[in-house]
Amino acid sequence: MNQQATASQKTRAEQETENEANRLREQVDAALAAIAQRSPDEFDALQTAADRIERVARDLADTVRELAQQRRAAEDS
């Protein structure tokens, strides 16, 4: 099945969860790049990376919980 057909079958909550997971991957990759790069502003870059990962991880956790609630509600009905 192609990616477009698969995407159209996903619920909004599934799409949001996938988007948040991808955002977290991007932030982790950015943090790894900041770790590898030694520069005078290293401390600020690492702090910023940590803050971004923390925010995106919270967003992902929220969307996963929302998805779980929707699936439970669908199961119960």
Domain boundaries, the chain: 13-76
Alpha carbons 37 and 20: distance in angstroms, whole number? 26
57's CB contacts (< 8 A; 6+ apart) are: 24
- In whole angstroms, give the CA distance from residue 32 to residue 46: 9
Average pLDDT value for residue range 47-61 = 97
Query: CB–CB of 67/17 below 8 Å?
Result: yes
pTM of the model: 0.81
d(CA 36, CA 59): 26
Q: Look at residue 38 in the predicted model and tell me its pLDDT.
A: 85
Mean pLDDT of all residues in the chain? 90
